[in-house]
Chains A and B, each alone.
Chain A
């Protein structure tokens, strides 16, 4: 019954969107007709989504999707999250969020011209149709099984984590937001509505901020759960989200110029088209199985062909549209590099695009190589780190420069710049001394960068009556993240120890004590929980509880890291394999300032949300 409701609402939603897109093609359109249609299409999809959730909650294993991704022993909250634990449900969530964006944008654009709203509705309904048909034909979550199993196959143990609750929906919100940015842009180009830049800016900020949070949550999740202490793996799935993020960052910056300088509008439009296309391309790469990734989803070539054609059509059509609608290609003719803020922002944009192409190349290269040379290979972090590091150093220099160059140049100012640089080196040295780490030349020099930026930002704050809180907070976030990356890369410590219950081990200045262990019997896994103490002399520094879990359904062991956080960083303990007679392989790690990486990105996202409040028009 519920299956039928879910399926039919999905079906009618697709019909509804076909109707909306047909209506927008009519010569004479009555705008008020749309209000109900837009609302109803969202409600239908929402009901469809709710019914899938209900099927999971009530363990309806006659539904294939539920049987594959759930289990009666699964805790309640993971049953709800299992809805997006697989391909079909993920797409249903994707579509629900897209239709939510449609609904919100539709009612937010009441004072825009009719043409703009009609085109907006056309693009959204076409997108919803495209994805609706995709779900309907290649990935229907409501398919029934002829011989329903008595119990489901369980959700992948790696996904049974609090990260699963928040990471996917927030990240999808970002992905889908780029579709909204795209729709606003195309509608704006076609209708020449003046407000579209502001709408694009707001959607871009929302999409970018959600994406930042989503990526951070994913990174933190991988750090906790994959259990080997890294926070970024350059995995195709991570790259798929990183590329639109880079473009989004460029877009947010270029929108600042576009407001005052109309020649930049084509550039902004190009970026939003890129952002959307990369979202689709990312989905294609992840879902079609052309690349091998640790995320390893079930794959299907038919889905790949569909997504690939969607990518090609949307990209080519919108770029053609953009080129045709250009009045004159003034951007290239009139622009010359001077040291103005505009030029620096353009340089920023170009660097972001270059970074995006570097990531794109690294992600696609194994596939291109496979097709042309018939050999398989992996492109790993060595490539990404080496190529991207100089680009990011340049970007940070630009960030500092562009804030400096809002002032006049004079001898006094140059002198002050020098003082700032020396101050930055001094600050990085004293920071290291205060924390009590070993003084390394590399560390002092690389830390001087973020501190230099920090000084520049405060200098700017002091000398300017008006400044943008949003940009300031986002930039501070980047500084915090950079400090986190530098410190955790240069000062991480890692050891392997074999220990028995009750033993002690000396690690540097610290003593690690294994106090006791307790049995765990959860509904979805069992194993044991170990109780460790870290002491410095007699001073208790941290308690750690790593767990050794064996998931009941799949019988696969999955260590759960014990993490103790200090304000400055993390201690990390992992229980590995059982060696002999009660002694276990224990991995100890100290990750200084690793939390700063995530705190920084959250700050960037907060900056993005604050940016929603104000208008840039001067």
Chain B
């Protein structure tokens, strides 16, 4: 009898610890995490733009304006949700958005952009994830807000929400647009 009850101990501990994790997960907001990458310059890069194969996306060509880098993939469910949001934001206030395709196939992605719409101004393919790792990004979706000088201002892990857009991204974009106007 006792022997048999001993079997229960590992089962109980596994189930209970798993449910403890799930319980904690319930009360967590997966989208708010600070990052050490903030205020660091982006690495220098030059990549082919999938959308306009004759053009290259480089760090230099993007300087001078606040923009977003969005790491995503067609197999990532959260990115599908985010995609919808990005389209909405582009409509509301057009901005520069560089997409990075993490571990994906172009043939999977283009139909998606055609069917659902394309929020990206440029799209970089990163099939092996090298570039993504260089940027210090771990998973999908993840978004970096980059300032005029190519420094990371803010990092968003998970789906960009209306809250992120209205309170953080949109003010920065507007501020940058104003300074640019004044310089002209």
Contact = CB atoms under 8 A, between A and B. Distances in A.
B73 interface: yes
B30 A376 contact: yes
Contacts of B15: 312, 315-316
Interface in A288-346: 288-290, 292-294, 296, 301, 304-305, 308, 311-312, 315-316, 319-320, 323-324, 326, 329
A617 interface: no
A32 interface: no
A294 B19 CA distance: 24
B157 A376 contact: yes
Interface string B17-33: 01101111111101101
Interface string A536-571: 000000000000000000000001000000000000
Given A294-B81, A301-B26, A496-B111, A371 B8 contact: no
A367 interface: yes
Contacts of B141: 378
B157 A576 contact: no
Contacts of B111: 228-229, 494, 496, 574, 576, 587
Interface in B1-60: 4-5, 7-8, 11-12, 15-16, 18-19, 21-28, 30-31, 33
A312 B17 CA distance: 11
Contact of A323 (B7, B25, B107): B7
A152 interface: no
A576 B23 contact: no
B158 interface: yes
B175 to A, nearest CB: 28
A378 B25 contact: no
Nearest to A380: B75
B19 A312 contact: yes
Given A371-B24, A380-B75, A381-B75, A496 B114 contact: yes
Contacts of B77: 233, 235-236, 292-294, 378
B100 interface: no
Contacts of B25: 290, 367, 370-371
Contacts of B138: 375, 377
A47 interface: no
B76 interface: yes
Contact of A308 (B19, B33, B107): B19
B16 A577 contact: no
Contacts of B16: 312, 316
Contact of A585 (B31, B76, B114, B139): B114
Nearest to A360: B18
Contacts of B115: 227-228, 559, 574, 576, 587
Nearest to B79: A378
Main secondary structure on B side of the interface with A: helix
Interface string A355-379: 0000000001001101110111110
A376 B5 CA distance: 38
A234 B75 CA distance: 9
A375 B139 contact: yes
Contacts of A380: 73, 75-76, 103
A367 B80 CA distance: 18
Contacts of B31: 376
A382 interface: yes
Interface string A108-137: 000000000000000000000000000000
Given A367-B25, A371-B28, A378-B77, A577 B117 contact: yes
A308 B139 contact: no
A301 B4 CA distance: 36
Given A323-B7, A376-B31, A577 B114 contact: yes
A284 interface: yes
A323 B8 contact: yes
Contacts of A371: 21, 24-25, 28
A368 B16 CA distance: 14
Nearest to A290: B25
A296 B81 CA distance: 8
Contacts of A375: 33, 138-139, 157
B112 interface: yes
Given A228-B115, A494-B111, A301 B27 contact: yes
B118 interface: yes
Nearest to A229: B111
B159 interface: yes
B8 A377 contact: no
A377 B139 contact: yes
B62 interface: no
Contacts of A374: 33
18 contacts: A229-B111, A236-B77, A316-B12, A316-B16, A319-B11, A323-B8, A329-B4, A367-B21, A371-B24, A371-B25, A376-B33, A376-B139, A376-B158, A377-B138, A378-B77, A378-B140, A380-B76, A587-B115
Given A370-B25, A576-B111, 9 more contacts: A227-B115, A233-B75, A236-B77, A284-B22, A312-B15, A364-B22, A375-B138, A376-B78, A377-B138
